[in-house]
Amino acid sequence: MKKFFDGLAEIFEIEPNEVSESLALASVAWDSLAIVSTIALIDEQFDVMVDGQALASCETVGDIQKLITSAQNS
């Protein structure tokens, strides 16, 4: 997950050590560009596609991880 968290840090324009499962997306630049970039990051690192609307409704990084796990299991 470290590589994924590093990618999120770059998208959110924050330090990698600030990214954790409990990070509230409302506290970072969670906009349409960040959502599209996160979809690309997930596809690149986990080889799964997630639904943009489902991703947009995530509230924490942990929610994103659950979405990835769900996509991997379907």
End-to-end CA distance of the chain: 20
User: Which stretches of the chain are DSSP H helices?
Assistant: 2-12, 32-46, 52-56, 61-72
pLDDT, tens only, 8-58:
999 999 999 999 999 999 999 999 999 999 999 999 999 999 999 999 999
pLDDT of residue 13: 96
Sorted by where each starts, the structural domains of the chain and their CATH numbers stand as 2-72 (1.10.1200.10)
Task: Give the predicted TM-score (pTM) of the model.
Answer: 0.94
Q: Could you tell me which residue, 74 or 40, shows the higher pLDDT?
A: 40
pLDDT of residue 20: 97
